Structure formats: structure tokens, C-alpha cells
Structure 1
Amino acid sequence: MTSKSGSGAAGDGGYEYEEESVQNSRGMKLFTCRWLPPKGQIVKAHVFLCHGYAVECSVTMRGTGVRLAQAGYAVYGVDYEGHGKSEGLQGYIPSFDLLIADEMRPHPVVVSVLKLMTNIIPTWKIVPTTDVIDAAYRMQEKRDEIRNNPHCYQGKPRLKTAYELLKVSLNLENNVLSKVSLPFLIVHGGDDKVTDPSVSDLLYRSAVSQDKKLNLYPGMWHALTSGESPENIHTVFQDIIAWLDQRSSPKSSSSAAALDLSSEMEQKAKHDEQNIDKQ
């Protein structure tokens, strides 16, 4: 079933909003949504939103979807299994093959205990954690919005979820970052207390991409595109949209600042081929 609604004044460029339920390989219904430029307007490119742990797309990331759609991009989001309006035990991640996050790095002894206990009581909500909402969002109205959103999980991380978060984080740091070859832009708040800016710096330094950029915003927190002041949010989106426009414009291939993206794809194919051969 699909529902549609549109919003946005003409001065904003307008946008179309749609929702739909799809079924994953395990037969679970997943909620999807999309923000599109007005009908008849040429779509510059397609953008896929990946929400963070315990939140969702349609409300939490609405501002991002609207701004990018008004800038000419088709934006798509999906609530992961166990998140938002999708089916599954809320806040429970049985496997992190489809999800990526960087939440914690406990002592090795704790890791061993976590691994053992996840086989016994995987859904228990017993992992201690600080209040991420207060640490991530500078503006009180956004904190209130998250806390009042019934589709955002606000309990303690479930044991299996915490272990999967840890496992994939270590794998990313040790095995993945140095293989990133596609163009990317990183935006990170200089005063982020949820994810250390050094993690973004590590990705920037480790990646083999020829087209890579790291924007560090002094004084800003974790939720750059939603939890900051309107002025700060505008600054961040200006940078994001400018980066996207440069790489989606038909003229970008002839621009002196443009890079040969085909070489990036060749690099990725080479890395993928090497990884397949090792398996």
C-alpha cells in the first residue's frame, strides 16, 4: 500500500512525499519513504538515506529528505528491521550484515562475556549506555521530538544488538576503511560527543579514493543536519548540496575541478575482484 502527500511552498521549490511497505527476504514488512522533486522537474541524482541506530527515516530524517528533494534530488529511506515503522523486535539487531554503526569498544573481557551471553539471552535490554539524545542534539525542541516519537527506540541496547554493533565496528576499522575507493564527503561536528571526529579522520586518511573530502565544523555536535541551530544546519546543507551538484551536473565532466569517476569505479571493481578471490 502506498500513500502520497506533497508539501512545500513554491518559493521552496516544493516536493512530493510517498510511503510504501515492502517485504524483505525473511517475509517481514519494511517501511520505506521517499522525497521527490516536483513532477516534471529533472532529477539530478538518487540519494539513499541510512538512519542511525534506534531512530527512523520519515520523521527523524524528514528535514534531510525535504532539503535534498527541493534541491532536485530523489531521496529514499527505509526503516531497518526492528526500527521505526518496520516489523521486528524494536531495537533488536540479530545480525549486522545489513546495518552499520559505531557504538562502543569495551574491554576484551567484556567482549568475551558479550559473545557468550548473546547465545543465551540475546534480547535482554541490559547494556548500560549514556543518554545519546542529549549528547547528539543541541536544540531542545529536537530532543523533545525524538523523545516523543514512538517509532524511536529509547530503551537500553539489547545484548545481541550491542555485540553486533561492536563486531561490525571493529571489522570496519580493521578491514574495510582502507578499501573505500568511491568518491565521498564526510561532514562531522567538531564537538561531537557521540562519534569521535577521529573516526572520520581515520576514514579520510585510510580510504584510497582520489575524490574525498572531510568537513569538520568547529563547535557543532553530532546531529549536524537536524539537531543544530537553523543557521548551522543551513551551512552544512549548503556544503552537501554543493558537493552533490558538482558531481551530478552534466557539465561536471568538463569542469577543471571534476575528477574521472570512471577510474574510481575501476578501482572499486579491482578491490571487489580481489576480495572475491580471497573467499
Structure 2
Amino acid sequence: MKRLPNIDDKLQKILDAKMDEVDARRKAREAIKDIQLGIDHILFKTPIDGLEIKESYEVNSREIEIFGKSWLPKASKPKAAVFFCHGYGDTCTFFFEGIARKLALSGYGVFAMDYPGFGLSEGLHGYIQSFDKLVDDVIEHFSKIKENLEFNSLPSFLFGESMGGAVSLKIHFKQPKAWNGAILCAPMCKISENMIPPKLVFRMLIAMSNVLPKSKLVPTQDIGEAAFKDPKKKEQTAYNVISYTDKPRLRSAVELLKTTEEIEQKLEEVTIPLLILHGEADTVTDPSVSKALYEKASSSDKNLKLYKDAYHALIEGEPDETIIQVLDDIISWLDDHTLKHNQP
């Protein structure tokens, strides 16, 4: 990785280590977490006074150690529970930290996890052997939280960003009655054409993925470069030291494309209350498919918000005023739907 400012040689050596295995990722995150949360970004200006923040590591039924995190208001019982699904290559310990604080200070219990192979959870970095199994891992982790006596009577909402939007929709398909709503931010219902290789190349990649599934051979644009509009915030992505930024692994790319094809064919099967948010200038995930999701979803309660000239990273990479607007829109929707649930 490129050298970060004000980083000594000892720390830089930790950050330069190969991140394929989780031990290196955990060591890097532990070494830089205080620096990360001190960068000059609007999300990290949210205070933590009045919040109870916990981190955990739990081995799941597939014998994978999963990292989870929660943010709860101290002064009162949460109004509802929000379960976050992060994007491809990402973690719930960097930019989402500020988003979670904002939601928790608004009275919500917020829960997140890193998928196997991402962030601080075990697994080969950036490797998705099966998208379905990944979704099952998320369901297992979130279900345990929802069964907790402290939270089992609360309305519960999914919150998926980018690939996490696809995870959220797949959770909904598997658990159609289990959730009170879903917030989908720039959801990966379809990857934009300019981000994927030509069809002939892709057919070759599918064949190769059966032989070399873990190889980093998929040609693609720099997602971070395309996702962040604000130049200063784009530079700050370098502090997300445990994100996966290499070329996609063959099996991962095939699984992502298969998943988007499946979701695009099943938009009519979406019945959950929806808030869909998308930047009109997004070149990573296709905003036209968010429009199609809004139009085709069978949900009687659905809302689409499009942000003029905004890129993919709506809550992390836009000018401050856009980030504030998007967060306000999310909290307003949560407040309305929590109130509806609690009305006799």
C-alpha cells in the first residue's frame, strides 16, 4: 500500500504485510484504529458519549470465526434494531463506524459483522466461494442477536450498502417474514457494464474459476476511484487498510455476477418495506436497476431517493451536505417505520 502521512516505519511495515490471512488484518487494524478514527471526515466527528460499543469474535456453525460489532444507546432501550451488511471488499470497522454512531445516537441499536474473508473475520481475503453460504452466515449471526431477550421484541431492519444490498435482498428472499424493512444504499442489483469484462472474457473466466478459483485475475476498474466523488475523501480511503483492493478472485467475481443476474430476475418477489437510495452518477452499481427494483417490487410500502450528480459511495465519499442529507433521509425513514410498528 502507499505510505500514509505521519506513519512511522514500524507501523508502515505492519500495514504493508500481506493481508490474505486474518491475523495480518487484525494486527493492522489494531495498530491503526486510533489513527483511522482521528481523520478529518464528517463521519468521525460523531461523538461516542452516551453509546455502548462492543466488539466480539464468535465461531459459527461452519467453524469460521466471525467478527461482530454493536452500537447501543446507553440512556434508553433501542427504538429498533438495524442490521448492517457491508459492501464488497469492505469492513464494518472503518467508515461504517461513523454511520453506526449516528444511528445509535438517534436511538437505534446497530449491529454489523464482517463476512468470511473480509475485514476481521476468518477466511482468505476477498474470497467468496459461495454467495449463498455467505448469506447464510449473515443470517446465522443476525438471528442469534435477534433471539436475545433484550432485542427480540424490537422491530428489525436490514441496511445494505452496495454488495450488502444484494446480501440484504437475498436474506429477504430466504426470510420473507422476518424483517420489518430494508434500507438499500446503491444496492448491487446489477454491476454497471463498464465495471465488468466483455461477455467472451467473462465466459473464459467462468471456466477458469473452476480450476483457479482463488486467483486474482479478473480485470476491473478501481472501484474506490470510481466510487468517491470528494477528492479529499477519496484520499482517505487509503486509511481503510484491511479493505480488499486487489483484482477480484475468479470465484468471487463469478459469484457476484451470478447473484446480480438472479436478483435482477426476482425483483417482483421483493415484498418488504423499502427505502432505496442511489446516486444518479453511480458508475459502480447501476442506478437504473434501483429504479426497476422500485417499480417492480411487490412491496406496498416503497420509497426511492435519487441524488443528482452523486457517485456510488453516497454516505462516505460525497460532499458533507450530501452525506448529511442521506443520513437524515435514512433516520427519517427509520423513525416513520418504527412508529408504524409500535402503533396499536
Asked whether the 8 Å contact 2:216–2:248 carries over to 1, the reply is yes
The equivalent position to 2:73 in structure 1, one of 26, 37, 60, is 37
Match of 2:38 in 1: none
- What does residue 98 of structure 2 align with? 63
Inter-CA distance 24–124: structure 2 relative to 1 (3 Å threshold): same
- Provide Cα deviations, 1:37-85, integer angstroms capped at 9, x if missing partner: 12x3131100011100001101131121011001000011100011011
AA partner of residue 256 (structure 2): L
| 1:146-194 residue CA offsets vs partner (Å, 9 max, x unmatched) | 22322101100011110001111101111x2110001010111111121
Structure 2 CA distance for aligned equivalents of residues 168 and 10 of structure 1:
35
Q: Which amino acid aligns with 1:226?
A: E
Which residue number in structure 2 is paired with residue 77 of structure 1?
112
Number of the residue aligned with 1:226: 316
Q: C-alpha separation between the residues in 2 aligned to 1:11 and 1:169?
A: 37
Structure 1 runs, 4 residues or longer, greater than 6 Å off: 8-13
Q: For residues 205-243 of structure 1, give each alpha carbon's deviation from its aligned partner in whole angstroms, at most 9, with x where no partner exists.
A: 110000000000112111111111221111111111111
Tell me by how many angstroms 1:139 deviates. Answer: 2.4
Structure 1 window deviating more from structure 2 (132-141 vs 29-38): it is 132-141
SS at match of 1:61: helix
Match of 1:198 in 2: 288
The counterpart of 1:93, out of the listed 118, 128, 138, is 128
Report what 1:241 is aligned to: 331
Query: 3-state DSSP class of the match of 1:164?
Result: helix
Letter in 1 for 2:53: Y
The match for 1:189 is 279
State the match for 1:116 in structure 2. 207
Q: Which residue of 2 aligns with 1:273?
A: none
Does the 8 Å contact 1:63/1:226 carry over to 2?
Answer: no
TM-score, normalization by structure 2: 0.67
- 8 Å contact from structure 1 (residues 91, 158) kept in 2: yes
Q: Which moves more between the two structures, 72-81 or 187-196? A: 187-196
Alpha-carbon distance in structure 2 between the residues aligned to 1:156 and 1:63: 28
What is the deviation of 1:144? 2.8
The worse-fitting range, judged by mean Cα deviation, of 135-144 and 225-234 is: 135-144
Give the conservation status (yes or no) of the 8 Å contact 2:57–2:65: yes
Query: Where does residue 255 of structure 2 map in the other structure?
Result: 164
Q: Structure 1 length normalisation: TM-score?
A: 0.81
* Mapped pair 1:173 → 2:208: no
* Structure 1, 130-139 or 164-173: larger mean CA deviation: 130-139
Tell me, yes or no, if the aligned pair for 1:55 and 1:84 is still in contact at 8 Å. Answer: yes
Q: Deviation at 1:142?
A: 2.8
Q: Percent identity?
A: 43
In the alignment, what sits opposite 2:51?
Answer: 15
The RMSD of aligned alpha carbons is 2.2
Give 2:218's match in structure 1, choosing from 127, 131, 136: 127
Which amino acid in structure 2 is aligned with residue 61 of structure 1? F
**1:19 offset after TM fit, Å?**
0.5
Deviations 1:81-132 (A, max 9, x none): 1101111110110001135344455544334322221110011101011111
User: CA 1:112–1:134 in 2, change beyond 3 Å: closer, same or farther?
Assistant: closer
1:224, 1:252 → 2: CA distance? 30
Contact 1:63 1:225 in 2 (8 A): no
Contact 2:197/2:220 (8 A) holds in 1: no
Which one of the candidate residues 109, 125, 149 is aligned to 2:240?
149
Answer yes or no: is the 8 Å Cα contact 2:196–2:220 preserved in 1.
Answer: no
Tell whether the 8 Å contact from 2:218 to 2:247 is kept in structure 1 after alignment.
Answer: yes
